[in-house]
Amino acid sequence: VGKEAVSDYQPEGWIAKAQDSGVDPADYILYRVGADAYDADGSGGLSIGERAQAMEQAGFTQEEQTLLWLMEYPDWAEAADKAGVSDSVYVAYKTATYGLTADKDAEGNSISGSKKTKVLAAIDALDIPAEEKDKLYFAAGYGASSLNEAPWR
């Protein structure tokens, strides 16, 4: 943990980042210091899954978590706007679909449509109206021709 654990040490960059994003700087510092414990693979960086776990364990509200996600992935705000959904809905979509991959057959080849099935199931599980799910469907890169196959339809 190093000098970040010393109570009077306040990294200027972290404080500015937190203040610019509307997150309490003290809470953000505690999150950043503790987040390293979630680096399961020892890569020195957190995956989206590890970051989600760290945020939940830190006790941040959903609103605070959305702000933190947008601090870490600022392009998500623009993507949410482009998709026509709120930042919180887009963050929920991105964290729900993180790491989804296609299933593989016996030869190791991707099974056609298996990743899409998982993505649609993740979107469907979100507690949002069907019209928002449609927007996320398009944001995921799927076309209108197969929209009626979505489980919320």
Q: What is the pLDDT along the chain (153 residues), one digit of tens a residue?
A: 444 444 445 577 888 888 887 888 888 888 877 777 888 777 777 888 888 888 888 888 888 899 999 988 999 999 999 999 999 999 999 999 999 999 999 999 999 999 999 999 999 999 999 999 999 999 999 999 999 999 999
What pLDDT sits at residue 82? 97
Please, which residues bridge with residue 110 across strands?
A: 104
Q: Write out the E strands in 9-116.
A: none
Nearest to 86 by CA among 72, 71, 57, 66: 66
> Per the confidence metrics, is the pTM higher than 0.85?
no
